[in-house]
Structure 1
Amino acid sequence: MRERLEQLKQEALAELNGVLDAGQLNELRVKYLGKKGALTEILRGMGALSAEERPVIGQVANEVRGAIEAVIEEKQQKFEQQETERRLAAEKLDVTLPGRPLKQGGIHPLNRIIQEIEDIFIGMGYQIAEGPEVETDYFNFEALNLPKNHPARDMQDSFYLTEDLLMRTQTSPVQARTMKAKEGEVPVKIICPGKVYRRDDDDATHSFQFHQIEGLVIGKNIRMSDLKGTLLQFSQKMFGPNTEIRLRPSFFPFTEPSIEVDVTCVKCGGKGCRVCKHSGWLEILGSGMVHPRVLEMGGYDPEQYTGFAFGMGVERIAMLKYGVDDIRHFYNNDIRFLEQFARH
């Protein structure tokens, strides 16, 4: 049996020296050291040996196994090292190559307009005020001189959640909440940007959700001339220094007197074109002097304080400034449309 073990050792080492890859190496491991391998077959005959021979043959078998395992381990490490070197060579980076540019996104055109409007009014000393989009009927209507059953409520078809809660139809409730919170303190000088909701048509100029920015100023001796000067400065900052404004009488329940504000056409400069229907003017917002009743409900004495308010649709301003003819473009997520407004 000793001779058979020595012969097995020489045969195994000879084959292992000629192995070329890890797969072949594993096959030889199974062939010689596996449960059904050559070494196991030889050791099954140890039962026929005498008690004196068994330890000697067992020691020889362990030496043979150790010699074969040592060569297999050496070869295994060699193959692993070669594989590592191969992968490093295949995966190495050429640090001299230029980097791949990352495509950057841009600010959405509506957000850009909101930021521009905020910057203009912050520059005039205004503060930004915010409020809830789910509003009470009181702040959305009654505190703005629109009691229940008031016919002007028909102008704003609303999304009611309960009898008393609705999705706000304007950002004016933020003005009412601010007046309540200040408890008669002056001056008040705020703008209120945010989303509003109305059951409106879904067409080129209307949407059930849109953005508004409203403004409110309250103090002593606030006059219509202050409102006109403010809106003229805003219009020239937004549409260009040569922009002129025109005030037209109108009606809003929360202001008295009320006016609509037009600007000279951004396309033709007031000469008349298809965009302005050859009138030379484009409507941009509504405004007026705060109604005494609204001041009173907000905690201000209308005999001592006056104020003005204005409100504009962000989408309307964006459509005029950028020459967009369909409000739905702002919400369709068409990257071809949005890329036109990206600034690099």
Structure 2
Amino acid sequence: MDMDKLQRDIPDLRSKALAELSSLEDRRTLDAWRVEYLGKKSEIAQWMKMLGNLSPDDRRMAGQQIHALRQTLESAFTERMREMDELEIERKLREETLDITLPGTPQAIGHLHPITRILMEIEDIFVKMGFAVVEGPEVETDAYNFEMLNVPKDHPARDMQDTFYLSEELLLRTHTSPMQVRVMEQMRPNIPVKVIVPGRVYRRDEDDATHSHAFHQVEGLVVDQNIRMSDLKGTLEEFAKALFGPEQAVRLRPSFFPFTEPSAEVDVRCIHCKGQGCRVCKQTGWIEILGAGMVHPNVLAAAGYSPDAYSGFAFGMGPERIAMLKYGISDIRLLYQNDLRFLRQFSQLR
């Protein structure tokens, strides 16, 4: 390396590089300039490699001058890049000017489905009464869905709950009642048992205005010592008043369910005519909303509880039916068709 030539080349390179840098207009050419003058194959890099060929004094002087040149070019590069960034921001601001006086674009806000609202309301009511909320499997065994609920394989009650079978022993549950046995098994020997079980159930029903092959159910179960039918009625009266209003009343009518004895259909005073009689309640003044009864001794025994020492009550209701009554819905299929024109009616509910 010729020291005299190097001292001539350094100012020339500085002038050339800075002149080119000032004329650059975009990031692509700026990056190319950086590679040419500051990269690993640049003239400055080559000079640094050849410093070892100089005498110690010349090496020190040349090193200082080359280093000063690199710092000058790096500072100039950084400043030019900053200028380009500012110019780009100014360009975007000019092109993306926002007129804040224009009206905004309204955004659609989602809301809860009416079935979800009813399920949450039911859960809140029973939780306040000390019930726990549990869930169970939708794919159930024949034993839990039928046999342990006092419905053997040849029982005629199975005809009313024909469902979708996955095998001879596996099926889509027809009700949430299997959790009666499952919960009692899990909690045995602890008492009291006091739970509700919300969930989806399935039956091979033809879809029409009042039936669906898939729907929801909320099961309730209380097991303890000295549980009576009056406890069941009192619980359901409190539930009805919380759901439909403080003036509401309930009526129990004798019925039959394989897993409760005695059993009852539970009616509430018609919320449309206040018990005076109308088309909705078929002029009776009452509307059926759920089935209930005292837990059958066979079900208690199947879960490992002595029917002589313990008793309990159970009930089951359909949230879809309650939603139809409360919101005046005439066809259950409307709840599942996802028609936004229908569902938007419930956006203001609280």
The TM-score normalised by the length of structure 1 is 0.74
Task: Sort the Cα spacing of 1:222 and 1:90 in 2 relative to 1 into closer, same or farther, 3 A.
Answer: same
Task: Sort the Cα spacing of 1:172 and 1:92 in 2 relative to 1 into closer, same or farther, 3 A.
Answer: same
Q: Which residue of 1 aligns with 2:137?
A: 132
Return the alpha-carbon distance in structure 1 between the equivalents of residues 84 and 171 of structure 2. Answer: 73
Aligned AA (2:226): N
C-alpha deviation, 1:93, in angstroms: 2.6
Return the alpha-carbon distance in structure 1 between the equivalents of residues 85 and 132 of structure 2. Answer: 68
2:270 corresponds to 1:265: yes
Q: Which residue of 1 aligns with 2:328?
A: 323
Query: Match of 1:247, SS?
Result: strand
Residue among 293, 302, 306 paired with 1:301 = 306
2:332 corresponds to 1:334: no
Q: Which residue of 1 aligns with 2:221?
A: 216
Residue among 173, 179, 189 paired with 1:184 = 189
Q: Which residue of 1 aligns with 2:74?
A: none
2:155 corresponds to 1:157: no
Residue among 285, 309, 320 paired with 2:290 = 285
Return the alpha-carbon distance in structure 1 between the equivalents of residues 90 and 264 of structure 2. Answer: 79
Task: Sort the Cα spacing of 1:151 and 1:98 in 2 relative to 1 into closer, same or farther, 3 A.
Answer: same
Task: Sort the Cα spacing of 1:83 and 1:323 in 2 relative to 1 into closer, same or farther, 3 A.
Answer: same
C-alpha deviation, 1:81, in angstroms: 9.2
Task: Sort the Cα spacing of 1:150 and 1:81 in 2 relative to 1 into closer, same or farther, 3 A.
Answer: closer
C-alpha deviation, 1:155, in angstroms: 1.2
Return the alpha-carbon distance in structure 2 between the equivalents of residues 80 and 244 of structure 1. Answer: 74
Aligned AA (2:348): R
- Please identify the structure whose Cα radius of gyration is greater: 1
Aligned AA (2:108): K
1:251-262 counterparts in 2 under 5 A? 251-262=256-267
Return the alpha-carbon distance in structure 1 between the equivalents of residues 134 and 165 of structure 2. Answer: 24
Query: Match of 1:205, SS?
Result: coil
Q: Which residue of 2 aligns with 1:172?
A: 177
Q: RMSD in angstroms over aligned alpha carbons?
A: 2.1
Return the alpha-carbon distance in structure 2 between the equivalents of residues 187 and 87 of structure 1. Answer: 69
Instruction: Give a deviation string over 1:15-46, Cα, whole Å, max 9, x none.
Output: xxxxxxx9xxxxxxxxxxxxxxxxxxxxxxxx
Aligned AA (2:221): L
Query: Match of 1:192, SS?
Result: strand
Aligned AA (1:162): S
Instruction: Give a deviation string over 1:236-256, Cα, whole Å, max 9, x none.
Output: 111111111111000000000
C-alpha deviation, 1:152, in angstroms: 1.0
2:147 corresponds to 1:147: no
Query: Match of 2:185, SS?
Result: helix
C-alpha deviation, 1:100, in angstroms: 4.0
Query: Match of 1:170, SS?
Result: coil
Return the alpha-carbon distance in structure 2 between the equivalents of residues 81 and 113 of structure 1. Answer: 57
Return the alpha-carbon distance in structure 1 between the equivalents of residues 179 and 225 of structure 2. Answer: 21
Q: Runs of at least 4 residues of structure 1 off by over 3 A?
A: 78-87, 94-101
Return the alpha-carbon distance in structure 1 between the equivalents of residues 119 and 200 of structure 2. Answer: 11
Return the alpha-carbon distance in structure 2 between the equivalents of residues 195 and 280 of structure 1. Answer: 30
Task: Sort the Cα spacing of 1:79 and 1:320 in 2 relative to 1 into closer, same or farther, 3 A.
Answer: closer
Query: Match of 1:226, SS?
Result: helix
Return the alpha-carbon distance in structure 2 between the equivalents of residues 202 and 81 of structure 1. Answer: 65
Q: Which residue of 2 aligns with 1:246?
A: 251
Aligned AA (1:319): M
Return the alpha-carbon distance in structure 1 between the equivalents of residues 133 and 326 of structure 2. Answer: 23
Q: Which residue of 1 aligns with 2:201?
A: 196
Structure 2 residue runs of 5 or longer lacking an equivalent are 1-24, 26-82
Residue among 211, 225, 246 paired with 1:206 = 211
The TM-score normalised by the length of structure 2 is 0.73
Identity %: 64
Structure 1 residue runs of 5 or longer lacking an equivalent are 1-21, 23-77
